[in-house]
Structure 1
Amino acid sequence: MSDLLLLGAGGHGRVIAETALATGRFNRISFLDDRCCGPGQLPDQLGCPVIGPLSAALDPHIRQQFSAAIVAIGNAALRVQWLPSLATAGYEVPALVHPTACVSPSAQLGVGSVVFAQACIQAQAIIGSGAILNTSCSLDHDAQLGNGVHVCPGAHLAGEVQVGNRSWIGIGA
């Protein structure tokens, strides 16, 4: 088990935190968020502390405390932008899969991607880095998702579909 640093303490970050806890892989989770400094600091999220702004992820003292980090920000451009910085800093940048999700053993998940509860990813699907496969969505065989794609809750994509970088597939699509 290791410690996980989440960049972003909003709603998406809280869902990622609960997914990470459900995997049983992490002892401790902490958040970074640019809203944490100054007046109106952010309180703990789900019992996990908000310990500094996003830039603190690159601070060697913070880096020594956390073996893994993931970008928990809904904005696709920011997710994709932060991933290489985290890897270069030496963090493991895992793909997280909720235990109730179904992911084919032949599917490929890019670093920093998340697969939420009840999602289904079928045979030989390829998911880029920083993708969000949200609650109860499905991605059928041989589909290809670019980096930073967000497939919203309840959206269903057929086999061999190709989705470009930073695309957003809406709820129930």
Structure 2
Amino acid sequence: MKKYVIWGCAGHAKVVASLIKLQGGIVAAFFDNRDVATVLPDVPVFKGVDGFHAWLKGYGDVSNVTGVVAIGGARGADRIQIQKLFSDSGLQLEPLVHPTALICNTVFLGNGSQVLGQAIVAADSVLGEVCIINHKASVDHECVLGDGVHLAPGATLCGCVHLGDNVMIGAGAVVLPRLSIGANTIVGAGAVVTKDLPEGVVVTGCPARIIRNI
């Protein structure tokens, strides 16, 4: 059976752990920066980077262990940083795809990206590393997503959309075709983006309007 370790012990970690179990994998350990309870019975939680290194030292050869970053929300930069820690430590990195997701055979999925139940990623789209395409989210043809992007449940990218690193698209939001959104921008739940957006802003509404800088 394939072995995994997961960074994160909140709601998204529960989703990821259940997907790993569905695919016949085993979770060997969890890591979190907080003092929290484990997600799965009998699977230990190690605290922070020091805890990770302690686990690493005790485990030995990790060349057959896959690291998964299970941190949701607008925390793409954190996901990227932790994935680098996993990579530098010799863990395997790979996309994680739910069996009910629909992904075209011309799509590129970056390492650590997650495509969850009933999500769609259409022809010639490119996902960077540690992206999350959450339940029932849709990425239409020829979209390009930077590293650390998160599409919340039910979010929709129409064709040829470009998202910078760490962009967060809220639940049920829609980005119209051929638009670009700059790095670190957050699109609120239910918003409709009708024009290009700069980096580092928060937008809400229909049409989406900037309400503050980050």
TM (normalized to structure 1)? Answer: 0.89
What residue number does 1:28 align with? 27
CA deviation profile, 1:112-150 (whole Å, cap 9, x unmatched): 111110101111110000101000000011100000000
> 1-side partners of 2:60 and 2:130: how far apart?
20
> 1-side partners of 2:52 and 2:113: how far apart?
18
Corresponding residue SS for 1:93: coil
Corresponding residue SS for 1:18: helix
Greater share of residues in strand: 2
Greater share of residues in helix: 1
Corresponding residue SS for 2:67: strand
Unaligned stretches of 5+ residues in structure 1: 37-41
Cα RMSD of the aligned pairs, angstroms, is 1.7
What residue number does 2:52 align with? 57
Change (3 A) 1:145 1:60: same
Partner amino acid, structure 2, of 1:32: F
Answer yes or no: is 1:70 the counterpart of 2:64: no
Corresponding residue SS for 1:159: coil
What residue number does 1:39 align with? none
Change (3 A) 1:34 1:97: same
What residue number does 1:6 align with? 6
Unaligned stretches of 5+ residues in structure 2: 174-214
Shift >6 Å, 4+ stretches: none
Shift of 1:110: 0.6
Alignment map for 1:17-166 (pairs within 5 Å): 17-24=17-24, 26-36=25-35, 42-47=36-41, 49-55=43-49, 56-58=51-53, 59-62=56-59, 64=61, 67-74=65-72, 75-166=75-166
Retained in 2: the 8 A contact 1:122–1:141? yes
Partner amino acid, structure 2, of 1:5: V
Partner amino acid, structure 1, of 2:61: Q
Shift of 1:70: 1.1
Partner amino acid, structure 1, of 2:52: A
> 2-side partners of 1:136 and 1:21: how far apart?
20
> 2-side partners of 1:163 and 1:69: how far apart?
25
Aligned sequence identity (%): 33
Corresponding residue SS for 1:28: strand
